[in-house]
Amino acid sequence: MFEVKRYKDITRIMMGTEVNGRVVFSVAAYLIDGLLIDTGCHNTRRELVDYLANQNISMAVNTHHHVDHIGGNKVIMERLKIPVFAPQESLPIIARKQDIFSYQEQLWGCPELCLVNPLGDKIHTTHYPLQIVNTSGHSGDHVVFLLRERGWLFTGDEFFMEKPNSARKDEDNRLVVKALKKMLTLQPEFLITSSGRIYSDGSDVLRRTIAYFEKIKDRVHNLKKSGMSSKEIASKLFGEETSLKEFTEGQFSRENFIEGFFINSAD
């Protein structure tokens, strides 16, 4: 799957792989004023670079190191001869072959290792300055990009959807909420997300999502005190697991989301 759609001055590029005839997960990259934000997955790298070869593009950036956001890095650097930038913490991870799960191999493919350049705290396109803000919720190296004069916040995976109820293993909901609060301080008008959805009431969406996490957290802790397991709490609050748990061999599930309220990783 490779689909390009234009939203005013933003070009959205959706990428994904068909598994048994359907696209289970897709991921968005965005092209604005010559800057590509995220480069999709390895499986769609050729379609991406063929498309970009006919566009006015001067550089690419990654929001974080996950394989569905860096898969086009190497081919973009080699064919288009433009620089790719990533958060400082992402650099050593992108520079080596990542250990990935079999579902990730199927969905995204494994990116070729490559050496990219470190991001600072701002980056300039031809017409706009973008502020780079470290959020470190979804992953420790995650950054978001704010184009303040337009109210655009490119969230990567840091804000994916309202009311999530599934997560990867080891995703710490305390850090996720901290990141949501940090993004709210930026007062975005638009949230431009890696799910492909663009929200026009960005700050309200963030407020609602923070309130949702706080409410679920209280319920989860009360149910845990009553003796329920995380699996039982997930079932009570959200119903039975979907096929994603089996497909990802437990790496992505509702139970993981509940467990995320009890992780105490360092800030």
Q: Give the residues lining the site for Fe ion (CB under 5 A).
A: 66, 157
How many C-beta atoms lie closer than 10 Å to residue 186's C-beta? 17
Q: Residue 193: name the closest of 210, 207, 180 by CA.
A: 180
Nearer to Fe ion among residue 140 and residue 188 (C-beta)? 140
What CA–CA distance (Å, rounded) separates 174 from 76? 35
Beta carbon nearer to Fe ion, 194 or 230 = 194
From the CB of 139, what's the least distance to Fe ion, in Å? 6
Closer Cβ to Fe ion, 45 or 66, answer by number: 66
Our CB check for Fe ion shows the closer of 141 and 157 to be 157
Rg (CA), the chain: 18
Q: How far is the CB of 198 from Fe ion (least distance, A)?
A: 18
Q: Which residue is nearest to Fe ion (CB)?
A: 66
**Residue whose C-alpha is closest to residue 241's, from 252, 225, 229, 226:** 252
> Do 155 and 192 touch, CB atoms closer than 8 A?
yes
In whole angstroms, what is the distance from residue 135 CA to residue 121 CA? 12
Burial degree of 224 (CB within 10 A; 0-12, 13-18, 19+): middle
Measured from the CB atom, is 66 or 245 closer to Fe ion? 66
Shortest reach from residue 217's CB to Fe ion, in Å? 22
Minimum separation from the CB atom of position 64 to Fe ion (A): 6
Cβ 171 to Fe ion shortest distance, Å: 9
